[in-house]
Amino acid sequence: VAQQCSDCKRFQHPPADRCLECGFQSLQFCEVSGSGSIVSFTITYDARTPAFASRQPYAIVWVELDTQEGLVLVANLSESPVEAIQIGMPVQVYFERLADGVRLPQVRLRP
């Protein structure tokens, strides 16, 4: 899901207490397809915290959802070799289950 303004219908992410486009304060979470494409990425070879050291090199991508131009989320692209990643590749959101019960939105390449 992503947050959508009830008035101007614009989606925004991360969620906020008001629509950053029109200022309307009635917002709801609506289903989105989770399909999008990579607008940029970085491969981190030098993790800054121990939690990510075992995963390096790891890819962080900016994904623009097909739902709306400018609706961008951050995710990892961990199922693909980092050398293969390019801007423009189509991706699909899935949810990764973390040890502490958190479900984290992630992306994988879409065929």
Partner 1 sequence: MASTVARTAIAGVGHSRVHRFDDVTLGELVIDAVTKAVEDAGLGLADIDGVVTDPKQPFDGAGVVDGINRVSPEYLIRALDLDVSWYESPSPGSTTRSIIAGSNAVASGTCGAVVAFRAVHNPKGRYARANPSLAEGTKQFSEPYGVFPPAMFGQLWHRYMHLYGTTREQMVPFVVNNRDNALLWEHGYWSQHRPTRLTATDYLEARLVSSPLGLYDCDIPVQACGAFVITGSDRAKDLRNPPAYIRGWAVPGVHGGWEHLSTLDVVQERTQRFARHLFENAGISVRDVDVVNVYDGFSCFVPIWLEALGFCQTGEAFDFMVPANIGIGGAGPPVNTSGGSLGSGRMHGVPQVMESVLQVTGRSGPRQVAGAEIALCTGAGQPGVGDGIVFSRSQ
Of the candidates 106, 87, 86, the residue with the CA atom closest to the CA atom of residue 96: 106
- Residue 12 tokens read as 């925004």
Q: Which is nearer to partner 1, 8 or 39 (CB)?
A: 39
Of the candidates 34, 43, 42, 52, the residue with the CA atom closest to the CA atom of residue 94: 34
Selected from 4, 5, 11, 13, the binder of partner 1 by CB under 8 A is 13
Nearest approach in angstroms of CB 61 to partner 1 is 8
Nearest approach in angstroms of CB 79 to partner 1 is 14
Q: Interface with partner 1 includes 20 (CB under 8 A)?
A: yes
Of the candidates 47, 109, 94, 24, the residue with the CA atom closest to the CA atom of residue 16: 24
Of 3-11, 24-32, 74-82, the segment contacting partner 1 by CB under 8 A is 74-82
- Phi-psi map region of 6: left, alpha, beta (phi>0 left; psi -120 to 50 alpha): alpha
Residue 81 CB neighbour total at 10 angstroms: 9
Site for partner 1 in 42-61 (CB under 8 A): 42-49, 51-52, 55, 58, 60-61
Give contact residues for partner 1 (rule: CB under 8 A): 13-14, 20, 39-49, 51-52, 55, 58, 60-62, 70, 72-76, 87, 98, 100, 102, 104
